[in-house]
Amino acid sequence: MTVPALRPFRAEIPQSALDDLQNRLRGALWPDDLPAGYGVTNERVRALAEHWLEKFDWRAFEARLNAYPQFVTEIDGETIHFLHVRSSREDATPLVLTHGWPGSIVEYLDVIGPLTEPESADEPAFHLVIPSLPGFGFSGPTRSAGWGTHRTAAAWTELMSRLGYEKYGAVGNDAGSMVSPEIGRLAPEKVVGVHVTQLFAFPSGDPAEMADLSEADQAALAHLQWFYENMFSFNTLHSQQPHTLAFALADSPLGLLAWNAQLFGEHLDADFVLANVALYWLTRTGGSSIRFYYEDAHTTARPEGPTTVPTGLAMFAGDFQSIRRFAERDHANIVSWNAYDVQSGSGGPRDAAGHYAAHEATNVLVGDIRGFFAGLTRGSSWPVLAAAHEALRSAIAGVRDWAAPTPCSEWNVTQVLQHAAGDQLGYAAAITGSGGPDFNPFAPSGELTGRATDFLEPTLKAAAAAFATVKPDAAEVPTPLPQGALPAQVAVGAAALDAAVHAWDIAVASGQASPLTPELAEALLPVAKQLAEPLRGFAYAPALEGPDDEGAVPSLLRYLGRDPEWTA
């Protein structure tokens, strides 16, 4: 099959369209004025409309947009427009950045420079792919139905593959905060991490979820309830009758301005608001953009289970406030959770200050994105943990009898696997403060409902992502061990020791060659001698005697109370 070409693109709106816009704004018919409780006010819309007529310069914005490389391609039957700005740095990490409604690619223009070409060589750099959502801006109007969260995420994975990116991160705001985690769900082997400004997770209805919520979480729920009761009409109409509204949005720039401006805070500069609104008007996508809500409301495909890709949240005061308890139910690998209060002004509760953080608080968001992805990259500085995890993966791949006995007294292979996975989640939970096992790893059931790899892999990723946030020189890293916090090198070694030894348990119980290499055993033996004594009779049996020169692997095993010659 021939892959559709990536074609260079420039924004070039005909002058006739700009003249028509001016005429429509000048001849606009205005409704009677009413207080703010009835919706966006005449005063607000009139000020923006006058700025649009007299001061906003589309050609200047167009030139700014055209200063960046832009392309279009066809994916799943629709034209997709995107900016593709590569860093000059060879070590740059590719990112796909996804906006929402009523935003657009305009949201991310301010972060392009600092993310692609940071001033300091010590800061991470990124190649940026910034697509217009299907049905938005130059990616529309769409001709087909079904362009909601999941289909968009699938299109973005295809786009990144076409660009040659086999490993990349996903960043999102608003609708992008829904699309980006789904990219990770669809391509977990490619997505190194997901960074969003909202984690849209809500109460399930279980009363237990509401018990002992903090005052901050209760305030977040109260604000969400207020938003639902006072500002949710746009979502309801978009989800139920988007085409009915589309007639007004297609015919009146004043109507489009008023409808979209309800979600642009009064503290935002007029040029930013109007660049977004003008992009919708001049591409005739006011109607097609709002169908995103309808598609999500009417889809029958619902994802099962939590996402597992390392996830980071940068949450801004005034915007939607995510609640960690609910977020962890839907995202099993949250490794970064930061809240910021950088409001430069607010028009009250309707303002949602901080929602457009890439524009409102550029440096703060850029710093959080840098820190998140740099932390994930630091995971490569822990080769001992990576080697131990790989040993565990190798061991379970060769299992034929999951009920076979193991060197762990009274535990079969499945139980050792459950215990090993629980250990890794324990370390992840200790570091991140959340996400521990939902079972007792010291009383494993011996029953798995799905594939062993599906059970194990999220736990290894959670541990790796958690340790990725740990600096090599950290003096105190929280652990689930009785010793508590340990220096970074020791804490990582402890997690690696757990994984490696249980990999050996599973492998020998299954008649496989030992995945515990001499190099790995040599690295772990000093850790074992530093940590094992308080755990005798609990995690490890008494040490066994053996020859002094038998090598690192048997020496490590005997020290931990395991017979290197064990057979079933």
Pairwise CA distance, residues 137 & 150, whole Å: 20
Question: Which uninterrupted H or E stretch holds 247?
Answer: helix 242-251
Give exposure, 32-45, as e/b (b: 16+ Cβ within 10 Å): eeeeeeebbbeebb
Q: What is the pLDDT of residue 308?
A: 86
70 φ, ψ to 5°? Answer: -125, 150
Q: What is the pLDDT of residue 537?
A: 66
| Residue 93 structure tokens | 């990490």
For 398-517, where are the alpha helices, taking DSSP H only?
413-432, 452-468, 488-509
Pairwise CA distance, residues 509 & 548, whole Å: 26
Could you tell me the CA-to-CA distances from 64 to 168, 356, 422, 461 in Å, in that order? 26, 19, 51, 40
Q: What is the pLDDT of residue 411?
A: 94
Task: State the pairing for strand pair 93-98/168-172.
Answer: parallel
Portions of the chain given CATH number 3.40.50.1820:
41-203+213-377
Pairwise CA distance, residues 446 & 253, whole Å: 63
What is the residue-level pLDDT of the chain in tens, covering all 568 positions? 577 899 999 999 999 999 999 999 999 999 999 999 999 999 999 999 999 999 999 999 999 999 999 999 999 999 999 999 999 999 999 999 999 999 999 999 999 999 999 999 889 999 999 999 999 999 999 999 999 999 999 999 999 999 999 999 999 999 999 999 999 999 998 999 999 999 999 988 888 888 888 888 999 999 899 999 999 999 999 999 999 999 999 999 999 999 999 999 999 999 999 999 999 999 999 999 999 999 999 998 888 889 988 899 999 988 999 999 899 889 988 888 899 987 655 556 677 889 999 999 999 999 999 989 987 765 556 889 988 998 999 899 889 999 999 998 789 999 999 999 999 999 999 998 877 888 888 899 999 988 898 899 888 888 888 888 888 889 999 999 988 999 999 999 999 999 999 999 999 999 998 999 999 999 999 999 988 887 776 667 788 988 877 889 999 999 998 999 998 7
C-alpha of 67 from chain center: 29
Portions of the chain given CATH number 1.20.120:
383-560
Identify the CATH number of the domain defined by range 383-560: 1.20.120
Distant-in-sequence, close-in-space partners of 487: CB < 8 Å, separation ≥ 6? 474, 475, 476, 477
The string of DSSP letters for 57-124 reads -HHHHHHHHHTS-EEEEEETTEEEEEEEE--S-TTPEEEEEE--SS--GGGGGGGHHHHHS-SSTTS-
Identify the CATH number of the domain defined by range 41-203+213-377: 3.40.50.1820
Question: Which uninterrupted H or E stretch holds 326?
Answer: helix 324-330
pLDDT in tens, 444-495: 999 998 889 889 988 888 888 888 888 888 999 999 998 899 999 999 999 9
Q: What is the pLDDT of residue 386?
A: 86
pLDDT in tens, 319-376: 999 999 899 889 988 888 899 987 655 556 677 889 999 999 999 999 999 989 987 7
